[in-house]
Structure 1
Amino acid sequence: MPEAPMNDLALGAPPARKRELPPPLVMFGLIWVGLMLVVALLADLISPFAYTALDLRNRLSPPVFMGGDWLHPLGTDELGRDVLSRLIYSIRTSLIIAFGATIVGAVLGTTLGFLAAHFRGVVENFVMALVDFSASIPFLILALAVLAFFGNSMLLFVLLLGLHAWERYARIARGLAISASAQGYAGAVRQLGARPLRVYGRHILPNIASTLIVSMTLAFPEVILLESGLSFLGLGVQPPATSLGNMVGFGREYLTRAPWILLAPAVVIVLTTLSVSLIGDWLRDRLDPTLR
């Protein structure tokens, strides 16, 4: 007679793990961030007008929900420019700056952290002194001084914002690299003759990548707020280019007469930073082994 199939539990096999869906707030954050990415990528296709196009006959036209017409669903600004079109292009600009600055900070901090972990001694002391020095200076004051002295360009702006929180990545990378180097797998790879670049790039970095990714998701909304604050002060993105903070800065002068100019980008800033923060907290709970 054919044998009956044996139960997996009888063989001691672990039960299959059910794939859990993210909590509702995290799902909202994922959907919102995905929507912002789609808007940024398709800005040229979905924007009803050019963000610099003027319509002086419809200056300060209210949005649809305040009695306006569907030609300008979110209204127009003081020069008759369509708020929806400017909002779409502002989302693209702000996301490019935030992504670029976050990557610059993560690469710089991780590289210096690995250098400190590998060479120790004088190099480690120098890197940690830079970390303490950077952490002791208010970044907003430093950014204001640099932009006021050197002027402004998109590349300089991204690189400057990339200096924000690089010391956080340096501390994390140094600590985790020292811990990983003390473990057996890193020593075994060295004994096989692997060069330091291969040890750190192919073996240590993948093992600490989850922690670094979580740190990047937590730093990303901070960069968005910094960009918005500097653009609000007039030292960020310069006209005719537009960003979320730039729109808020120009809209503050019309807060009582045309609040929709300021409220549209402000709502996007709040929802985007909230969504990325929710995703970062969820990823930390999922990826950080110390919290399991």
Structure 2
Amino acid sequence: MAESRFTLDDRLPAGYFTDSLHADVRAGLAERPRTLPPKWFYDKRGSDLFEEITRLPEYYPTRAEQEILVRRAPEIAALTRAATLVELGSGSSRKTRLLLDALTAGGTLRRYAPLDVSGAALAEAGEAICRDYPGLEVTATVADFEAGLPLSDEPGPRLLAFLGSTIGNFDPAQRQAFYRMLALSLTSDDVLLLGADLVKDPRVLVRAYDDEQGVTAEFDKNVLHVLNRELGADFDVDAFDHVAVWNAEQERIEMRLRSRAAQTVKIPELDLSLSLDAGEEVRTELSCKFRRESLTAELHAGGFTVRQWWTDPEERFALLMAVPN
């Protein structure tokens, strides 16, 4: 039975979401410049909106990464001979199936171990994968991998996949801490598979984060719906405009919510009153873009050596394999 091959281990401490949200909102909104971390986009509505974004004509990263995986998954399977595929922030595990297919065909894969903060997403994806891959063991873990990597008895070698250029949501200091944590968690037989969006024409980049249909704007504003619901805040969502800006110096897209007028927002749950000027912005996401030389160097500083670097034919996106130094 598929159920006997699927386990779900919740490692999040009691009150995790409430405590994290309170801490992030206090830290991010209490001082200027105002910021909120992007993880709070992803309630059910936000996750559905992001799935819609990945299908938009302007949003190339998902398609570009998938193109690379279609071409390279058999090679990845042959090079790693992984017995366990560990995936961070797996969500719906859609692209993962290309890796699962290749590793299964190669005859080495025994276990799929996805990690995500959403137990519901893990349960839905894990049960589907058990149905579609007879004989594969699925051990899902509800965890915040930024706080540590709960790996233990997975059969090796392990292939740890961190796809979608989620690494771009971290600033340089956060990326270094993340690489070091990963390097300490992996053995010399393990391999990191990392997806990274590349620097390109700023017009292409801005369009990817500010689409014509306004889906990304809805996604960006969804964080205000989350704060209203979870913290009793009184954000007028229509009083904000979605803005996507290319920061050329930092080589990153910044998503921001810009206040249309001077306004005061109350967040009763935190006993916080927030005064925003007309035109004042709340930064809701960083999406850093990468170059081969600098990304290879920062990975090396964080404890990894890049062994393979693949791009899609248009060189929009990179998929790389790295091993602990």
Hey, which of these two has a bigger chunk of strand by percent? Answer: 2
TM over 0.5: no
TM-score, normalising length from structure 2? 0.29
TM-score, normalising length from structure 1? 0.31
Indicate the structure (1 or 2) with the bigger Cα radius of gyration. 1
